[in-house]
Amino acid sequence: MIAPARSPRAPSLVLGFLAAAALLSACDAPEPPASLPPRTPVELRRTARAARNLPTDTAFASEVRAAFLHAWTGYEEHAWGHDALRPLTRGWRDWYDTTLVMTPVDAYDTMLLMGLDAEAERAKELILERLSFDHDMAVQVFEVNIRILGGLLSAYQMDGDRRWLSLATDLADRLLPAFASPTGLPYVRVNLRTGAVEGNENNPAEIGTLTLEFGLLSDLTGDRRYYDAVKGAVSRLFAQRSSLGLVGSVIDVENGDWLDLDSHARGGIDSYYEYLLKAWLLFGDEDFRAMWEASRDALNTHVAHEVDGRFWYGQVDMLTGERTGTRFGALDAFLPAVLALGGDLDRAARLEESVGFMWETFGVEPESFDYTTMEIVRPAYPLRPEAIESAYYLFVLTGDERWREMGKDMFHRVVAATRVDAGFAHLGDVRTGEKDDAMESFFLAETLKYAWLLANPSALDFDAVVFNTEAHPLRSVP
């Protein structure tokens, strides 16, 4: 379907010749498949709107700001220019052979929202000086998309500097070859310089969580190739759903065959659902609305699970609906936010109550536990944001202070359990408090951003943005 030829555009060209380049790309690109109707971006269509005039919790806000500064100072002192801080050994980590300056790109919009102008300026200088995508290395399309492309696009929409858009376009052009499979479903990894692809066994989350970033780039550049590639992939994935309306965990992008029939809303599928809803909201594309509503209904019918009065989402076989597992954990806690954004405040609240129960039971949430036995399956806590993110959504959408209190309590538990001298450290085991030498960039991009917005909801107009799955606020292009 999409012929993903990489554009040779240099950043400087984009500044002056964006319109001409877009025209050229449009001429080079094949006709979009007939199944992709023309699309007109519209204003955000909210099914649920933020409560008005929510007060700031000043004391909470200064605690979150102090935590952010502590984490950022650790990065500046020990990992400057690299992807991530190693907070225990005061070192750094790069994901690939060359840095993608991941923590600053991921953290930049949080700094702007917190009013940390000096830190933001230093981060921006570093990124613009060091960040280049012209490297002979294979990267994971999903992670680079949500953290780097998402970060660049939100930076552009927040401060208006077109150098962000230039970087974003260069990156997306280098990621496009990932869609050159026989089905249009993207491969897992792509070489940024050569366009060589790797990994034909992909999952719905990694396939479906490209839509907002690529789609918005189409709107910003006028080049439809990005939108058509992601919509084509998501439409194909949706078409592979079972008669129950469910998707599995692993699919072969070369032939569309399911390789793992386990269906759930956890890591591996989670943000596929999230982006169906958010693509509809951001782009006003009714096809995404239809895919979201059908998927949500299937999830609520077959995957939701009431046990002893508590509400969870577990695992089932995508073909039969037979229950295959009763595990839940930190990543699953994204779902109350998505349900709330989709207007289902009742299920959202019930599930977030279960999330709160998970924190009370274990002190800090584990990666995975069995909700029928309350036994931990995977005991780590890598500074994840989802539970606080959902508390934020419920707070802004209902105005009910109990959600802010719940999120604040989670934030306090995280700080107490993970703060070390040079930053914040992952927990290897929430039972023992044993720490791992890592501080993921999403701690600054997401966990602390959602905590900040929970404390200070007027810092951002919730109704004017759609957060990508890495908490980068994106705005639709009129």
Question: Which residues of this chain interact with ligand DMJ, rule CB under 6 A?
Answer: 146, 271, 331, 384-386, 442, 446, 469-470
CB 380 to ligand DMJ: min, Å: 11
Report the distance separating Cα 105 and Cα 99, nearest Å: 11
Report the distance separating Cα 69 and Cα 218, nearest Å: 35
Task: Output 140 or 354, the one with its CB closest to ligand DMJ.
Answer: 140
CB 395 to ligand DMJ: min, Å: 19
Distance of CA 434 to the CA centre of its chain: 27
CB 331 to ligand DMJ: min, Å: 6
Task: Output 218 or 469, the one with its CB closest to ligand DMJ.
Answer: 469
Residue 367 annotated to the active site: yes
CB 324 to ligand DMJ: min, Å: 22
Task: Output 18 or 448, the one with its CB closest to ligand DMJ.
Answer: 448
CB 410 to ligand DMJ: min, Å: 14
Q: Which two tokens stand for residue 327?
A: 């595990």
Report the distance separating Cα 349 and Cα 337, nearest Å: 9
Report the distance separating Cα 70 and Cα 74, nearest Å: 6
Task: Output 63 or 367, the one with its CB closest to ligand DMJ.
Answer: 367
Residue 386 annotated to the active site: yes
Q: Which amino acid is at 135?
A: H
Report the distance separating Cα 186 and Cα 201, nearest Å: 10
Sheet holding 201-202, edge to edge: 201-202, 250-252, 258-260
Report the distance separating Cα 185 and Cα 10, nearest Å: 27
Task: Output 39 or 384, the one with its CB closest to ligand DMJ.
Answer: 384
Task: Output 60 or 275, the one with its CB closest to ligand DMJ.
Answer: 275
Cα–Cα–Cα angle for 382, 388, 392, nearest 5°? Answer: 155
CB 84 to ligand DMJ: min, Å: 12
CA distances from 428 to 54, 401, 414, 417 (A): 36, 32, 13, 11
Rg for the chain, CA atoms, rounded: 21
Burial of residue 308, with CB atoms counted within 10 A of its CB: 0-12 exposed, 13-18 middle, 19 or more buried: exposed
Q: Which amino acid is at 410?
A: M
Burial of residue 291, with CB atoms counted within 10 A of its CB: 0-12 exposed, 13-18 middle, 19 or more buried: buried
Residue 437 annotated to the active site: no
Report the distance separating Cα 330 and Cα 383, nearest Å: 10
Pairing of strands 419-420, 368-370: unpaired
CB 386 to ligand DMJ: min, Å: 6
Q: Which of 106, 367, 436, 470 is catalytic?
A: 367
CA atoms within a 13 Å half-sphere pointing along the CA-CB vector of 99: 20
Q: Which of 219, 270, 274, 352 is catalytic?
A: 270
CA distances from 286 to 211, 291, 292, 469 (A): 14, 9, 10, 21
**Whether the Cβ atoms of residue 162 and residue 14 lie closer than 8 Å to each other:** yes
Q: Which two tokens stand for residue 67?
A: 């935590």
CB 77 to ligand DMJ: min, Å: 24
Task: Output 22 or 95, the one with its CB closest to ligand DMJ.
Answer: 95
Burial of residue 177, with CB atoms counted within 10 A of its CB: 0-12 exposed, 13-18 middle, 19 or more buried: buried
Task: Output 395 or 442, the one with its CB closest to ligand DMJ.
Answer: 442
Chain residue whose CB lies nearest ligand DMJ: 469
Task: Output 14 or 445, the one with its CB closest to ligand DMJ.
Answer: 445
**Whether the Cβ atoms of residue 218 and residue 225 lie closer than 8 Å to each other:** yes
Report the distance separating Cα 142 and Cα 365, nearest Å: 24
Q: DSSP secondary-structure letter at 435?
A: B
Q: Which of 106, 119, 143, 262 is catalytic?
A: 143
**Whether the Cβ atoms of residue 67 and residue 383 lie closer than 8 Å to each other:** no
Token pair 């209904």: residue = 297
CB 297 to ligand DMJ: min, Å: 22
- Which active-site residues does the annotation give? 143, 270, 367, 386
